[in-house]
Amino acid sequence: MRDLLAFLRDYRKESILAPLLKLAESLMDLLVPLVVAAIINQGIAESDEGAIFRFFLLLIVLAILGMAFSFSAQWMAAKASVGFSTKLRQALFDHIQSLSYRELDTLGTDTLITRMTSDINQIQNGLNLGLRLLLRSPFIVFGAMIMAFTIDVPSALIFAVAIPALSLVVFGIMLLSIPLFAKVQGALDRLLGMTRENLTGVRVIRAFCKEQQEIEEFDRRNDLLTSMNEHVGRLSALMNPATYLIINVATIFLINQGALRVELGALRQGDVVALYNYMAQIVVELVKLASLIITLNKSLACARRVQEMLDVKPSMEYPTSLPAELPQTDEAVRFDHVTFSYASSGDAVLSDIDFLAQKGQTVGIIGGTGSGKTSVVNLIPRFYDTTTGTVTVDGMDVRNYPAGELISRIGIVPQKAVLFEGSIRDNLRWGNEDASDDELWAALETAQAAEVARGKDGQLDAMIEQGGRNLSGGQRQRLTIARALVKRPEILILDDSASALDFATDLALRRAIANLPGTMTVFIVSQRTSSVREADQILVLDDGELAGIGTHDELMEKCPVYQEIYYSQFPDERPSAARGHAGEEVAR
Amino acid sequence: MSDSSRPPVDSMQTLRKVLGVVGSYTHLLVVSILLAGLSVVLQLYVPILFGDAIDQIVAPGAVSFDALRSILKKIAVLVVVSSAATWVMNIINNRLAFQTVKDIRSRAIRQLQKLPLSYLDAHSSGDIVQRIIADTDQLSDGLLLGFTQLFSGIITIVITLAFMLSKNVGITLMVLVLTPVSFLVARFIATRSYDMFGKQTETRGRQTALVNELIGNQKVVKAFGREAVASRQFAQVNEELQDYSQSAVFFSSLTNPSTRAVNNVIYALVALVGARLILGGSLTVGGLTVLLSYANQYMKPFNDISSVVTELQNALACAARVFELIEAEPEVPEAQDELFSRGGWIDIEDVSFSYDKEKPLIQGFSFHAKPGMKTAIVGPTGCGKTTFINLLMRFYDVDAGSISVDQQDVRDVTRHSLRKAYGMVLQETWLKNATVRENIAFGRPDATDDMIIQAAREAHSWEFIRRMPQGLDTVITDESLSQGQKQLLCITRVMLCLPPMLILDEATSSIDTRTELQIQEAFDKLMQGRTCFVVAHRLSTIREADQILVMRDGRIVEQGTHDSLLEQGGFYAKLYRSQFAGTETD
């Protein structure tokens, strides 16, 4: 938490002044009963009209000063809290940029977004309220008590009893109900989840004739929620009447005591009025303080979560510069007995992967879901570090490349075709900020995406909506391919990125990439044998192991896993397969 | 306030409907209102008594203890009564609010099961969930509690004025005249900050969108080495937001101090005028104390009422949305007869159907399937293959013509008996957030574990179920299963029921080859000897089908066998060549 306070450093003046000004304002409030007492004691008791008017002016001055103090306090608090959250938000954003894939996996996108948005907003609210009110309420409560003591000690003792009693009731009810409210929220969430489930599954529920059972289950949860609500409701229903009772009973004692003291001549009538007014101020502030503490508590929890996130250190280290001598080699990518596991699960996703891709080669990677295809290609740009074994690119261990250097040589088309809000040009230039329109068009042609841009008003200037909503899956996929090509990478990785394309387009795409000039090395990850069939070599992955490596023809000869995949997709070519009964015939 | 003084007719109707729901709790509502009245009167009367008490303490020797004690005793009794009244009222209000919400929700869920699919398809599920959960809460909070608050607010004002008038007419009138000043100040600030809030909301919206986009796709950002650009982009919006937020936060926090200042001035004026009146002998010190504390209190109900009125309007809007759902036309009533299944003959005669009467979709469509016949439904994505499923399962009724199963018109039998005759596996795999066992036994809750395991074995799901942490007792969440595994579970669910007719939706490419094979095998096992409709993506399924229905833009454009359709050289032939050309030429 201490680290977060560092973001408040630029607003040190504001964050000290805001509470102080607020105190000054409450001091004005605290003086009012004294002035009224003076009006009664001096003005009325001594029939001094001049005094009454002077005290009246004093009240007006107090009102104006109070407002002025308060305005400045609000300004300081707004400036400090908003400034703080702005800096914190930027720092967190920058920090996320520095994390590697491993940390991103562990933290999870949803968590990151919640921290960036609602958590920081909550901290800002808490800070703003805290700066203004955290000192004010206790100050008024204790200030009122101290003022009471300055007026008359025996009468003020009643305050010393009433305040702890009130605090006990207010904070006790709050503390008891907070966990109950959390439970109620949980029950409500479950009811909400069930309602949503009923809507998304309406066809299945009706197909299985389960309407009545769903109603019964809903009723059960609904009853549970209602009884929980009533339970916590009974508790908070006590708050108002209990505080009201305590404060008024205290006032009864106060007046009684006051009467005795006046009779003794130790106190005057105006003083009794002042004591009475102080008593009234206390209860309002205690209730405010209690709800403030709840808000602050929430904000502190958010602050802790943000702090935890800032404490996550990037797990990868990079050398600062390229070694003086770079190896001269024809090797593009080499995996040397690579074993790999994601941080989250201890099991190895890749074990003992060993292969070499020469510059200019096309490498196909095929295998079932979870066989480790994507993991293999994720190791090439060093998105993750291997557990054991090494990955080399251009003859050098990937760990010896400075930050950003390796990425600049590799073009990646991820599985999920993600585009960003902005023009087609903006999106394509992710690959290369300086690319000319001609280069962009060339990339679009190769990616079979030129027609996508041509079909839009404004061509390259056509706007893509957030997440690429205004494009079809196939169009998005082709644009992401073009984006990677704009980079003119040495290594191009297509991670199952033709799945939404039909066979003809997929074929045209692969041919166009093959015909590009230069010695680009291409990795094609796919579920379809037709997509990798023409590759120079195909890696067949099965449960994280290399089940076979070779050309299509070689694998058809000797690799049963590859054969199984192939025949499942082309049942007609299965030797001796009876036409039309593919499913039953496949040996498992 | 002016809007609420003339509520439009339909909000009066909504109000009546809400009162209808309250119906059985009317006695609670009446008691609550009476208690509210009682506690308000007492709470306002107590300061007067305190004032009287203070008047008994004039000076040394001039304290009348007897009178004082009797007043204080009276206060003690009233305070206890008032606290008790408030407490009981709070509890009653809670009960009233929570029970109404419960009743409305339980009506809503019953309605949900009866609403025609056309209604549910036309409304987003988020919107309906909102009505059942959030709007209902708002309705009870705003309408019921708002009502009591409004009531006690009005009583407070009336009684305060009466008490103040009883103490001093002049000061009361002064307070009455000056009060609106603080409203004007508040209004003035509100309009200023409203502007800033608008800008803040807009900028924050842009920032959230940017965060969602960039952080949501952080891996892509990293893959293209765009970290620095992203930071710059974010910084720009972030700084913009800082400016607007600062102003918005500042302006909005001015309301309270400003109204407080105005109130303090009024307070000072009351003190001044009051003191002079005391000197003139027309007011006592106790009276002034009462007037001072009322001058402060008098403002509060006004603020309360104005926020209650907004809340009431809001609540009425929510109530209208809830009732719109609850009172929507349910499905046409059921026939009485059960479907008597004799193997699965399906006859579709001259059917016309459309979702939107303006746009005719299916017209004069006829089709027949014999028991054991396999029908493939083929078409490009988004061609409306679900329309077919909607009609077969009677999720929608045909506009003209008829669909009959085993010579019984589907409209002449109960929906349950018809739907039980079908097994359905959709591509959108829906599973309950419950255990694996509950999910598999969804259609047959009485199934034994042996039966469940047997079905799971046949559907190839047992292999992964067995390996789950608690086996059949593992609770399924959205992330815990892969798409293929979900599909296998959905098949298992049907496998356990084994109905005479099937509707299957084949998986697309997101499932890996091996799982797809298992799914295919499971499908094949299911289909043996059953009348099936398969939304087909796989070439082999299409070729094996006894009949093919070709759909395009929601219409059925061609029907026939694979060979006859290829021969026709129509849409099917074109589709076939573009989708599967790779197989022949590559």
pLDDT in tens, B413-470: 888 888 888 888 877 778 888 888 888 888 888 888 898 988 888 888 887 888 777 7
Whether the predicted interface score ipTM is above 0.90: no
pLDDT at position A450, please?
81
Distance CA B15, CA A475 (A): 51
Residue A557 belongs to some domain of the structure? yes
Residue B581 φ/ψ, nearest 5 degrees: -55, -40
Strands (E), B191-321: none
Residue A553 belongs to some domain of the structure? yes
Residue A120 φ/ψ, nearest 5 degrees: -70, -35
Distance CA A4, CA A133 (A): 20
Same domain for A302 and A364, yes or no, is no
Query: Does any CB of chain B come closer than 8 Å to the CB of residue A182?
Result: no
Query: Does any CB of chain B come closer than 8 Å to the CB of residue A197?
Result: yes
Taking an 8 Å cut-off on Cβ atoms, the answer to whether B540 and A582 are in contact is yes
pLDDT band at B582 (very low <50, low <70, confident <90, very high): very low
Each residue of A3-52: pLDDT tens digit?
A: 788 888 888 899 889 999 988 988 888 888 888 888 888 888 788 888 88
Each residue of A388-432: pLDDT tens digit?
A: 888 888 888 888 888 888 888 888 888 777 888 888 888 888 878
Taking an 8 Å cut-off on Cβ atoms, the answer to whether B50 and A251 are in contact is yes
Residue A226 belongs to some domain of the structure? no
Distance CA A394, CA A206 (A): 59
Same domain for A427 and A543, yes or no, is yes
Residue A95 belongs to some domain of the structure? yes
Per mean pLDDT, which of A288-302, A491-505, B85-99 is the most reliable? B85-99
pLDDT at position A84, please?
92
What percentage of chain A carries pLDDT values higher than 70? 95
pLDDT band at B84 (very low <50, low <70, confident <90, very high): very high
Interfacial B residues in 75-94 facing A (CB < 8 Å): 75-76, 79-80, 82-84, 86-87, 90-91, 94
* Separation in Å, CA of B586 to nearest CA in chain A: 7
Residues 6+ apart with CB under 8 A from B372: B343, B344, B529, B530, B531
Taking an 8 Å cut-off on Cβ atoms, the answer to whether B83 and A206 are in contact is no
Same domain for A421 and A538, yes or no, is yes
Query: Does any CB of chain B come closer than 8 Å to the CB of residue A312?
Result: no
The Cβ of residue B161 has, within 10 Å, a number of other Cβ atoms equal to 15
Tell me the CB-side half-sphere exposure of residue A199, using CA atoms within 13 A: 22
Residue B586 has pLDDT above 50, yes or no: no
Which among B235, B514, B579 is the nearest to A90, CB-wise?
B235
pLDDT at position B478, please?
64
Which element (helix H / strand E) includes B289?
helix B285-326
- The 3-state DSSP class for residue B333 equals coil
Distance CA A257, CA A272 (A): 9
* Separation in Å, CA of A314 to nearest CA in chain B: 13
pLDDT at position B250, please?
87
pLDDT at position B3, please?
39
Distance CA A228, CA A185 (A): 10
Residue B376 φ/ψ, nearest 5 degrees: -100, 140
Residue A167 belongs to some domain of the structure? no
Same domain for A305 and A414, yes or no, is no
Taking an 8 Å cut-off on Cβ atoms, the answer to whether B275 and A44 are in contact is yes
- The 3-state DSSP class for residue A566 equals helix
Q: A-B interface: how many C-beta pairs under 8 angstroms?
A: 413
Domain of residue A521, CATH code? 3.40.50.300
Residue A81 belongs to some domain of the structure? yes
Same domain for A426 and A559, yes or no, is yes
Which of B508, B517, B519 should be substituted to probe chain A, the one whose Cβ sees the most A Cβ atoms within 10 Å?
B517
Residue A559 has pLDDT above 70, yes or no: yes
Query: Does any CB of chain A come closer than 8 Å to the CB of residue B397?
Result: no
Q: Please tell me the pTM assigned to this model.
A: 0.70
Which among B86, B264, B517 is the nearest to A586, CB-wise?
B517
Each residue of A463-521: pLDDT tens digit?
A: 887 767 677 777 888 888 888 888 888 889 988 777 667 667 777 888 888 888 778 88
For the record, the structure tokens of A308 come out as 């935890």
The Cβ of residue A558 has, within 10 Å, a number of other Cβ atoms equal to 10
Taking an 8 Å cut-off on Cβ atoms, the answer to whether A407 and B105 are in contact is no
β-strand partners of B351: B365
Each residue of B321-348: pLDDT tens digit?
A: 888 888 888 877 777 788 887 777 888 8
Mean pLDDT over the full length of chain B: 81
Q: Chain A partners of B511 at a C-beta cutoff of 8 Å?
A: 369
* Separation in Å, CA of B279 to nearest CA in chain A: 6
Taking an 8 Å cut-off on Cβ atoms, the answer to whether A200 and B61 are in contact is no
What percentage of chain A carries pLDDT values higher than 90? 8
Mean pLDDT over the full length of chain A: 83
Q: Chain B partners of A71 at a C-beta cutoff of 8 Å?
A: 254, 257
Structural domain total, chain A: 2
Same domain for A302 and A438, yes or no, is no
* Separation in Å, CA of A253 to nearest CA in chain B: 9
pLDDT at position A583, please?
38
* Separation in Å, CA of A405 to nearest CA in chain B: 9
pLDDT at position B88, please?
92
Question: Cα–chain-centroid distance for residue B223?
Answer: 39
Residue type, B120: L
| More reliable by pLDDT, A98 or B3 | A98
Residue A284 belongs to some domain of the structure? no
Distance CA B130, CA B108 (A): 12
Give the burial class of A182: count Cβ atoms within 10 A of its Cβ; 0-12 exposed, 13-18 middle, 19 or more buried: exposed
Q: What sign for the dihedral angle of Cα B23, B26, B32, B33?
A: positive
Domain of residue A312, CATH code? 1.20.1560.10
In this prediction, residues B134-157 reach a mean pLDDT of: 78
Distance CA A8, CA A307 (A): 14
In this prediction, residues B249-269 reach a mean pLDDT of: 83
Domain residues for A551? 360-369+408-575
Domains of chain B and any CATH numbers: 1-167+301-331 (1.20.1560.10), 346-585 (3.40.50.300)
Query: Does any CB of chain A come closer than 8 Å to the CB of residue B517?
Result: yes
Q: Chain B partners of A166 at a C-beta cutoff of 8 Å?
A: none
Interfacial A residues in 102-131 facing B (CB < 8 Å): 104, 109, 112-113, 116-117, 124, 128
Cα dihedral value B439, B442, B446, B452, nearest 10: -50
Taking an 8 Å cut-off on Cβ atoms, the answer to whether B109 and A198 are in contact is yes
Which residue of chain A has the CA closest to B71?
Answer: A252
For the record, the structure tokens of A263 come out as 């009779």
Give the burial class of A149: count Cβ atoms within 10 A of its Cβ; 0-12 exposed, 13-18 middle, 19 or more buried: middle
Which among B112, B253, B276 is the nearest to A78, CB-wise?
B253
Rounded CA Rg of chain A: 37
Residue A570 belongs to some domain of the structure? yes
* Separation in Å, CA of A269 to nearest CA in chain B: 6
Residue type, B168: N
Q: Among residues A270, A287, A276, A272, which one has the least CA distance to residue A251?
A: A276
Q: Among residues A354, A557, A32, A510, which one has the least CA distance to residue B295?
A: A32
Query: Does any CB of chain B come closer than 8 Å to the CB of residue A168?
Result: no
β-strand partners of A537: A363
Each residue of A125-176: pLDDT tens digit?
A: 888 888 888 888 888 888 888 888 888 888 888 888 888 888 888 888 888 8
